[in-house]
C-alpha cells in the first residue's frame, strides 16, 4: 500500500489505505421500560462502564452491552439470529463482506452519520478494505490497531529494526511462545516471505484458493516443525494475557491491547512492531439487518466519534480511535505506549489485513485446525 509522504501519526497513518477481559452487560439502574435503549454487541473490554454511563448522560439513551471475544463468535451469533437481537455490532472491516453476504447488516444511512467527526483518511481508506460492498457502505470506521510482538523485557528483549516474527520461532523460545492459530500462520508467512522462502507474496494467498494452498502448505510445514515453541495458543484477549500472566510465555504475537493491559498490571511486558510490519486492522460500527432501535444505533455511532468518547476508548484499550481530536485528549500512558510500539518507520510498514472472503475464512480455519492438532 502507498502512504502519504508526511510523517505518519495516529491521525494520518490511514491515508492511502485504499491502495492496498469479558465485562458484564451494563444496564443503568435508572432505566425505565419507556426510555430509549440501544443494544451493543462489542468486543470484550471495548466499552467500559464509564463510557456507558457517559453515553447515557449525554444522550438519555440506555445502553445494554454484551461482549464477545472473536470475529467468528460475532458472525456465528449474527447468523444464528439472522441479524436480530442487537442494534450495533463491531466487526473488523475485512470481515464486513461476510455479513453482507448473509444479509446480516443493513446499509449505513450516510445522512445520519456525523462524518466530519471521523478522520477523513479512515473513511476513504475503509472503502476498499471491506466497509463498502456493491456501492453501499455497511460500516462506519471507529478505530484501528495492530497484532505484533509482545515480549518479556527480561527474558526476551526485542529492539525495533531487528525484532521479527521469526523471533517467536527461535530454538531458545521453545515452550515460551504464544500465538493465535490463524494469524500466527500469517506471521510465519511474513517472516518466510522476508527471507525469500515463500513461493509467492503472502498477500496473494488472499486472492484465490490455488494461491492460498501454494503459500499455506509451506507455512504450515514450518509451523508444525516449530510447534514445540508454543506453550499456549490464544483465541481471545483473556487467553492471550493469561499466557503471559499465568502460563510462562515470554514472547508472542498478540494484539496491542494485550500487552498494554499486562503492562498496566506492572508486568515487564513490551510491545513492538516487527521489521516485516505489524498486522494492522481497522474496525467500525455496523447496524444489524433486524436492529430494533436504529435511531439509537446512530446516536451511539455518532457519540463514539466525539473526541471525548474516542479518547476514553483509546485510554482504556490502547487501541486507536478514528475520532478527530481524540489524540489530543489521550493520557500520557497511552501516548508513551504508542511511541514505543511504532518507532522509526513502523507506521509506514503496517501490513493491513486484506478482505477475508468466506472461502478464505473456511480454508484458513482448516489450516489452523491442522496446526493446532499436529
pLDDT, one tens digit per residue, over 258-316 is: 999 999 999 999 999 999 999 999 999 999 999 999 999 999 999 999 999 999 999 99
Q: Is-contact 282 17, C-beta < 8 A?
A: yes
Please give the mean pLDDT across all residues of the chain: 92
C-alpha cell at 338: 504508542
- What would you report as the CA-atom Rg of the chain, rounded to the nearest whole angstrom? 20
Residue range(s) in the chain whose domain bears CATH number 3.40.190.10: 17-144+282-343, 145-279+354-373
| Neighbouring C-beta atoms of residue 327, cutoff 10 Å | 20
What is the predicted pLDDT for the residue at 202?
Answer: 98
pLDDT at 176 over 80: yes
User: How far, in Å, CA of 5 to CA of 32, rounded?
Assistant: 53
- % pLDDT > 70, the chain: 91
Strands 279-285, 140-152: pairing is: antiparallel
Q: Is-contact 55 27, C-beta < 8 A?
A: no
Q: Which CATH number fits domain 145-279+354-373: 3.40.50.20, 1.10.3720.10, 3.40.190.10, 3.40.1080.10?
A: 3.40.190.10
CATH 3.30.930.10 for the 17-144+282-343 domain, yes or no: no
Q: Is-contact 259 148, C-beta < 8 A?
A: no
Mean pLDDT across the stretch 128-140? 97
Q: Smallest Cα–Cα separation from 222: which of 185, 255, 247?
A: 185
What is the predicted pLDDT for the residue at 13?
Answer: 53
Which of 4-13, 78-87, 247-256 has the lowest average pLDDT? Answer: 4-13
Strands 351-352, 279-285: pairing is: parallel
Phi, psi at 253, each rounded to 5°: -105, 105
pLDDT, one tens digit per residue, over 302-352 is: 999 999 999 999 999 999 999 999 999 999 999 999 999 999 999 999 999
**Banded model confidence at residue 35, pLDDT cuts 50, 70, 90:** confident
What is the predicted pLDDT for the residue at 1?
Answer: 27
Q: Is-contact 167 156, C-beta < 8 A?
A: yes
Residue environment code for 73-102, b if the CB has 16+ CB neighbours within 10 A, otherwise e: bbbebbeeeebebbbbbbbbbbbbbbbbee
Which neighbouring-strand residues pair with 64?
39
Residue spans of alpha helices (H) in the chain: 49-59, 71-81, 96-101, 120-126, 181-194, 209-225, 237-245, 256-264, 294-304, 307-317, 332-341, 358-373
Angle CA 210–19–351, to nearest 5 = 70
Mean pLDDT across the stretch 160-169? 98
This prediction's pTM: 0.87
Q: Is-contact 38 62, C-beta < 8 A?
A: yes
Amino acid at each position: 500500500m502507498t502512504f502519504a509522504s508526511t510523517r505518519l501519526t495516529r491521525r494520518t497513518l490511514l491515508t492511502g489505505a485504499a491502495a492496498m477481559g469479558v465485562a458484564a452487560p451494563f444496564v443503568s439502574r435508572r432505566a425505565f421500560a419507556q426510555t430509549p435503549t440501544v443494544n451493543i454487541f462489542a468486543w470484550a473490554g471495548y466499552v467500559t462502564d464509564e463510557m456507558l454511563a457517559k453515553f447515557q448522560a449525554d444522550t438519555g439513551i440506555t445502553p445494554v452491552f454484551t461482549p464477545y471475544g472473536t470475529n467468528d463468535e460475532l458472525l456465528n451469533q449474527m447468523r444464528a439470529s439472522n441479524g436480530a437481537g442487537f442494534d450495533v455490532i463491531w466487526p473488523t472491516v475485512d470481515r464486513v463482506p461476510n455479513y453482507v453476504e448473509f444479509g446480516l447488516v443493513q446499509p449505513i444511512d450516510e445522512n445520519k452519520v456525523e462524518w466530519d467527526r471521523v478522520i477523513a483518511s479512515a473513511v476513504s481508506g475503509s472503502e476498499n478494505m471491506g466497509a463498502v460492498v456493491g456501492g453501499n457502505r455497511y460500516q462506519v470506521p471507529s478505530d484501528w490497531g495492530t497484532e505484533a510482538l509482545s515480549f518479556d523485557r527480561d527474558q526476551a528483549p526485542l529492539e525495533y529494526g531487528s525484532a521479527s516474527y521469526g523471533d517467536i520461532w527461535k530454538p531458545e523460545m521453545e515452550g515460551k511462545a504464544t500465538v493465535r492459530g490463524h494469524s500466527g500462520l500469517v506471521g510465519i508467512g511474513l517472516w518466510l516471505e522476508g527471507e525469500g522462502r515463500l513461493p509467492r507474496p503472502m498477500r496473494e494467498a488472499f486472492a484465490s484458493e490455488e494461491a492460498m494452498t501454494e503459500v499455506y502448505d509451506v507455512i504450515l510445514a514450518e509451523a508444525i516443525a516449530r510447534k514445540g515453541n508454543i506453550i499456549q495458543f490464544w483465541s481471545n484477549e483473556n487467553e492471550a494475557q493469561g499466557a503471559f500472566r499465568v502460563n510462562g510465555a515470554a514472547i508472542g504475537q498478540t494484539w496491542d491491547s494485550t500487552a498494554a493491559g499486562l503492562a498496566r498490571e506492572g508486568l515487564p511486558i513490551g510491545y513492538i512492531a516487527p521489521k516485516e510490519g505489524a498486522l494492522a486492522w481497522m474496525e467500525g460500527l455496523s447496524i444489524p439487518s433486524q436492529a430494533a432501535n436504529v435511531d439509537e444505533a446512530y446516536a451511539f455511532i455518532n457519540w463514539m466519534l466525539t473526541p471525548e468518547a474516542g479518547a476514553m476508548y483509546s485510554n482504556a484499550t490502547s487501541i486507536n480511535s478514528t475520532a478527530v481530536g481524540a489524540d489530543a485528549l489521550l493520557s500520557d500512558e497511552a501516548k508513551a505506549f504508542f511511541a514505543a510500539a511504532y518507532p522509526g518507520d513502523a507506521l509506514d510498514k503496517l501490513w493491513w489485513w486484506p478482505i477475508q472472503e468466506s472461502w478464505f475464512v473456511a480454508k484458513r480455519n482448516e489450516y489452523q485446525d491442522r496446526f493446532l492438532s499436529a
